[in-house]
Amino acid sequence: MSIVLDGKEIAAAVRREVAAEVEKFKAKRGRVPGLHVILAGEDPASSVYVRNKEKAALEAGIAGRVHRLPASVSEAELVALIKELNADPAVDGILVQLPLPKGIREQVVLDLVDPAKDVDGFHPVNAGLLASGRPGLVPCTPLGCMRLIDEASKRLGGFELAGARAVVVGRSNIVGKPVAQLLLARHATVTIAHSRTRDLPAVCREADVLVVAVGKAQMIDDRHVREGAVVIDVGINRIDVDGKSKLVGDVHYEKAATRAGAITPVPGGVGPMTIAFLLQNTLRAAEARGV
């Protein structure tokens, strides 16, 4: 029987760790870290995500503000706001919630965020720092994946990530590439695969650690999982089951769990970790800025 990696439980521990460090930061600096989130438009899912981020930040003792802008906001207005936040010494972290309204170029907007305040870790400067093994802000979801892998290691008797075979299915700039870089930094032997990889099941079965972020519902099943492997499912997809909507991952949980040593569920696996590491990134950005 697989060990279920409860992301809610592990994320709660990370958030407690961040809250304790925020108190130390406050005692040393006389202020708390500041996180500002930009929400443009009225996308229902984005509104829920932003409320959850705002609530988590306040619970951790981080000063947060959400800039709620109408869908009619212009790119010029958004650019002006980002420049204002870049210059504000009370702002340590800036997060632009995606998607943005039609007519606004997302990459132009994201690239304007000060890399030192880019708590999403998406800026090309931070991507380059990660790729070259230098300190910088790293995307939150890959950081959450690494914490889940470490928790799996503890619960499986402390397997060594150094020298282990890791396969990452998915090559996005948000998850696939950065999580591969983080695994390389921990001395794993890493293969990046994707939906067009030939004989994908055979490639995946080589993995001691299998991270899946490909965006295709239940694409990975027991045929892809080596006995005892750690399976981290980053995907979240909505499918119809007997006329009812259901959230599932990129991994067919029930099938993969018959072979995995440890596995994340969907929902309740990687998702909660992303917000927890957003808070940690905000704290790290505040510490690095020295203000």
Q: What is the pLDDT along the chain (291 residues), one digit of tens a residue?
A: 799 999 999 999 999 999 999 999 999 999 999 999 999 998 888 888 899 999 999 999 999 899 999 999 999 999 999 999 999 999 999 999 999 999 999 999 999 999 999 999 999 999 999 999 999 999 999 999 999 999 999 999 878 999 999 999 999 999 999 999 999 999 999 999 998 999 999 999 999 999 999 999 999 999 999 999 999 999 999 998 888 889 999 999 999 999 999 999 999 999 999 999 999 999 999 999 877
Q: Catalytic site residue 181? A: no
Q: Catalytic site residue 97? A: yes
Which domains are assigned to the chain? 30-114 (3.40.50.10860), 140-271 (3.40.50.720)
246 residue type, one letter: K
Reported as type and span, the H/E element at residue 52 is helix 44-59
Cis peptide before 89 (omega within 30 of 0): no
Degrees to nearest 5, angle at CA 43 with 40 and 49: 85
Laid out side by side, the sheet with 34-40 consists of 63-69, 34-40, 93-96
Q: Which of 118, 120, 233, 250 is catalytic?
A: 120
Cβ–Cβ < 8 Å for 277, 7: no
Q: Which of 92, 97, 177, 218 is catalytic?
A: 97
Q: Catalytic site residue 244? A: no
Nearest alpha-carbon partner for 108 in 143, 74, 62, 154:
74
